Amino acid sequence: MNKNVTLAMGNGGEENNELITKIFYKAFKNEILQKSEDAAVIHGGELAFSTDSFTVSPLFFPGADIGKLAICGTCNDLAMMGAKPKYLTCSVIIEEGFSIKELERIVQSMKEELEKNGAIVVSGDTKVVPRGSVDKIFINTTGIGEIQKKGISSNNISDSDVILVSRDLGRHGAAIFAAREGIELTSNLQSDCASLYVQVQALMEADVKITAMRDATRGGVSAVLNEWAKQSNVCLEIEEKSIPVSEEVYGICEMLGFEAVNLANEGTFVLAIDKEDEQKALDVLHRFENSSNAVKIGSVSDAYVGKVIIHTAHGTRRFLDVPTGELLPRIC
């Protein structure tokens, strides 16, 4: 491990996992934390609890802004554990000289997204620091949700499950990169940033047998799949030709040498579903505009335990590794 913190340690991939495992997990080790879920399950399995900090650059980007991102990020982590978002805290660190008009715009975005989730902010903190001490504004949100369906866990995936993805991949990462670098696209590429509880609620109401869910943020779908393979001690086999990628995102990946499975998403989640409920789950997801192209991308086996295998479009197989390095810093 490096002697100093690097940007790559915040990418959601291998370096990030090493930092968390060797520093934070080592110090804070306990049974709840070791489960490594999107949100901690507490209070006898009745509540989900999660926290996240947001430092995205630029603050305003196609499809969302840091305010919407902050609420979606925390509410989605709760939803991935089958919990309805209820109560949030909001802490902000603001640079001296920051525009009040932009601050109001960010807070309004937060308000609108809270209403979509049926959640409220019940506590918070505000700090203003001297110019240059922070890049404009950083936001932390912590959330508590009421678990509606118990037993959802990325530690319980087995060969009776199939792997689905809720929509096309990489839109958030591609949109942020285009906005940051001033790339003018002829298309209307936007971040996929969106609250996901409405889809999760519909899946639960349809009594879909959900084993695990996770929103594919930093590190993208490849990070999620590798974490699941290790946590559940299984092999995940993925069909490359089934992975949905828009033409706009594919074009940016081709131009820059990225893989869409490694790019961040903020309104896309991966699901492990009992194979008997595959079609039922897809039917539910297809009812919603931002999951209308949900699809099965793989299955579970014991071929290479703890690994992810991708079956390429060329008929070959390779390991899909955890992302390394820092593709795009300050993505969320």
Is 6 a member of any domain?
A: no
User: Does the pLDDT of residue 1 top 80, yes or no?
Assistant: no
Q: Distance between CA 284 and CA 261 in Å, rounded?
A: 24
Structural domains in the chain (count): 2
Check if the beta carbon of residue 324 is closer than 8 Å to that of residue 19. no
Q: Do 303 and 166 belong to one domain?
A: yes
pLDDT at 261: 95
User: Does the pLDDT of residue 304 top 90, yes or no?
Assistant: yes
CATH number of domain containing 218? 3.90.650.10
Is 286 a member of any domain?
A: yes
Check if the beta carbon of residue 323 is closer than 8 Å to that of residue 223. yes
- 3-state SS, residue 323: coil
Per-residue pLDDT of 203-254, as tens digits, reads 999 999 999 999 999 999 999 999 999 999 999 999 999 999 999 999 989 8
Q: For residues 148 and 179, which has the higher predicted lDDT (pLDDT)?
A: 148
Is 325 a member of any domain?
A: no
User: Does the pLDDT of residue 183 top 70, yes or no?
Assistant: no
Is 326 a member of any domain?
A: no
Average pLDDT over residues 262-276: 97
Total-model pTM: 0.94
Is 17 a member of any domain?
A: no
CATH number of domain containing 53? 3.30.1330.10
Q: Taking the alpha carbons of 69, 71, 72, 73 in that order, is the dihedral positive or negative?
A: positive
Pairing of strands 235-239, 83-95: unpaired
Q: Do 215 and 118 belong to one domain?
A: no
Q: Distance between CA 243 and CA 238 in Å, rounded?
A: 8
Q: Distance between CA 106 and CA 64 in Å, rounded?
A: 10
Question: What pLDDT band is residue 184 in, cutting at 50, 70 and 90?
Answer: low
Q: For residues 19 and 198, which has the higher predicted lDDT (pLDDT)?
A: 198
SS (H, E, C) 67-94: HHHHHHHHHHHHHCCCEEEEEEEEEEEE
Containing structural domain, residue 170: 161-319
Of 20-34, 96-110, 192-206, minimum mean pLDDT range: 20-34
- Burial letters for 269-288: b for 16+ Cβ neighbours within 10 Å, e otherwise? bbbbbbeebbebbbebbeeb
Residue type, 11: N
pLDDT at 186: 61
DSSP, residue by residue, 288-308 = SGGGTT-EEEEEEESSSTT-E
Q: Do 55 and 113 belong to one domain?
A: yes
Q: What is the mean pLDDT of the chain?
A: 94
User: Does the pLDDT of residue 181 top 80, yes or no?
Assistant: no
Q: Distance between CA 261 and CA 220 in Å, rounded?
A: 6
Q: Do 73 and 177 belong to one domain?
A: no
Q: Do 314 and 195 belong to one domain?
A: yes
Q: Do 141 and 176 belong to one domain?
A: no
Is 1 a member of any domain?
A: no
